[in-house]
Amino acid sequence: MDGIGIVKRGAVKKLILIIITLLITINALVIQAQASLQVWPPKITIDIDNYDSKEEISFYIEARNPYRYPVNASTRVENPTPQAIKEGCTNIPDPSWFNVTPKTIYTLPGSTAKFKVSLNLPEKPLYYNESWETRITIFEDSSPKDAGGFMFKTEISVRIFVNTPPGEKASITKPLYFLIFIIIALLVTLLVFFYAKKLYSADQEEN
């Protein structure tokens, strides 16, 4: 009986050890699954007043590492799918107009990475009355060794909205006004010419 009791106690100890190990593993998995890079701000709106301004269009995105191990925070620029895009917006014609520096930052536990984002629109053609949307996605890259053997790669996207100047109408009406002015000037010149010619003819007949 004593031998059987010792065996049972040993089995119970093994069972308790297995349960504790499972709880620790599950807890580690839950913590890893809940954690992710913390990105700020979640969205940015850029209003372009005019194309004559020489000021640089740029802003910063911050990504904080909440883990107990270091990770590489990397970025990519991509347009959203038609289903995910904001109503009234269209995809930016070329996501490469956004330049992110650096592309990847090594972040220590609890530290914050800062990315500079610059918008470089082409000189021609000029875009007016457009509402664009694109995404800057920040994702993490760490080794299983650093992460304690568990890997949960997350991706977080910052929504970028760009509103171009409402200047297309002005760019059309200016040449139109100039054309109307030229036509009116020609008509006045012709009227003056014919009137002067008529007066000259009348003087010739009197003489």
> Average pLDDT for residues 148-173, to the nearest whole number?
73
85 pLDDT tier (thresholds 50, 70, 90): very high
The shares of helix, strand and coil residues in the chain, as percent rounded to the nearest 5, are 35, 30, 35
With a cut of 80, say whether residue 90 has pLDDT above it: yes
Question: Rounded to the nearest 5°, which phi and psi values hold at 99?
Answer: -115, 125
pTM recorded for the entire structure: 0.63
Query: What's the Cα-to-Cα distance from 32 to each of 26, 91, 108, 140, 144, rounded to whole Å?
Result: 10, 34, 16, 13, 12
**Domain regions of the chain by residue span:** 1-34, 36-166, 168-198
The model's pLDDT over 118-132, given as tens digits with 9 standing for 90+, comes to 999 887 888 999 999
With a cut of 60, say whether residue 24 has pLDDT above it: no
Please give the share of the chain, as a percent, with pLDDT higher than 90: 43
Three-state secondary-structure class, residue 146: coil
pLDDT of residue 154: 78
Task: Considering the domain delimited by 36-166, tell me its CATH architecture.
Answer: Sandwich (2.60)
With a cut of 90, say whether residue 84 has pLDDT above it: yes
110 pLDDT tier (thresholds 50, 70, 90): very high
pLDDT of residue 133: 97
- Lowest mean pLDDT segment, chosen from 13-17, 119-123, 136-140, 146-150: 146-150
pLDDT of residue 106: 92
112 pLDDT tier (thresholds 50, 70, 90): very high
Helix H segments across the chain?
2-34, 168-206
